[in-house]
Amino acid sequence: MASVKLGSTVIISYLLLLATICNAGLSQQYYQSNCPQAAAIIKTEVNKILRNNPNLVGAFLRLQFHDSWVNGADGSVLIKSTATNVAEVGAFVNFQLRGISEIDQIKAQVEAQCPNTVSCADIIAVAARDATVFANGPYWPVALGRRDSRVSRAIDADTQLPFPVLRFSGLVQNFAAKGFSAREMIVLSGSHTVGHTHCNGIGPNLYNYTGQDSLTDTNPNLDPTFATSLKQTCPKGNTLNIVDMDSSPNTFDTLYFKKVLANQGDMITDDELIRGPSGPSIVQSLSQPASSFRAEFANGMAKMSQMSPLLAPNGEIRKSCQFIN
């Protein structure tokens, strides 16, 4: 009975994924006539990059999240700041955002064969999917046809993206504002199964949980041994040291959810997944090896990549992803 139920969940998720793609004004065949090799180029470059640095899987996933969440999937997260404008990349919530130069590297290869054709926004979406597959994660179809925005403001990122200090209700509210359920929020938090994070986001969980900003203002829910170990890696005031999100940071699996259940969430937002009314049961179910996590994650990522996409004739196709034409 359990296997039948799981199979039904996977089928329903896939059908919802296809319906989302069909309704977004995008198409999987968008480049079929003018750059049919685009997907192959992107995949080749992503794999080349990840063979040299597999920890960038998490960076590619973070880029899609931080791009899509702020005014839609439009490549605005890649734009450099100027003397007169602090772009999204300069936002507090985008601290140490990685993978941007790698997206530019992929873009250069695409431009060499298909100039002025494939958007940086589309490259972000495809790279996130291909990186997930590289890490033994699920595959999902990516609809294409996004255009690149000419606008990027740090204030938009800092007011729309969730900060790592949000409690469960704040996370639910933030995701609901973008059309995602509490379950989808928890599923997508599972992206933390790959990559690492900086002490900048961990600090509040260790030293400022109630706003006292002291060595002892530690999240009381944390496993004491884990908290002590984490403090050794992230002493108070340190923002740049890095911590693997789980014990298999280069592999897409369910160990992140097991870590959260063990009261070992690195950031407040990790720990909070089991502090809300529906959180513990959802995290527990997703932590199982045979859970529907892979299918639900694929569906959530496809949905995220199609949040308010910028479509022709709006926007542009940037020649270089960090600069407006």
3-state secondary structure 243-274: EECCCCCCCCCCHHHHHHHCCCCCCHHHHHHH
Question: Is 198 known as a binding-site position?
Answer: no
Question: Is 213 known as a binding-site position?
Answer: no
Question: Is 246 known as a binding-site position?
Answer: yes
Question: Is 8 known as a binding-site position?
Answer: no
Question: Is 148 known as a binding-site position?
Answer: no
Instruction: Give the active site residue among 45, 58, 59, 66.
Output: 66
Question: Is 67 known as a binding-site position?
Answer: yes
Question: Is 158 known as a binding-site position?
Answer: no
Residues 305, 68 contacting (CB under 8 angstroms)? yes
Question: Is 74 known as a binding-site position?
Answer: yes
Residues 71, 137 contacting (CB under 8 angstroms)? no
Question: Is 187 known as a binding-site position?
Answer: no
Query: Which residues, 6+ apart, have CB-to-CB distance to 162 below 8 Å?
Result: 93, 170, 171, 174, 175, 269
Active site residue 196: no
Residue pointed to by tokens 């933030």 = 174
CA-CA distances (angstroms) from residue 222 to 76, 169, 189, 219?
A: 36, 19, 18, 6
Q: List the catalytic residues.
A: 66
Binding-site residues from annotation for Ca(2+): 67, 70, 72, 74, 76, 88, 193, 246, 253
Annotated binding site: 67, 70, 72, 74, 76, 88, 162, 192-193, 246, 253
The annotation places the binding site for heme b at 192
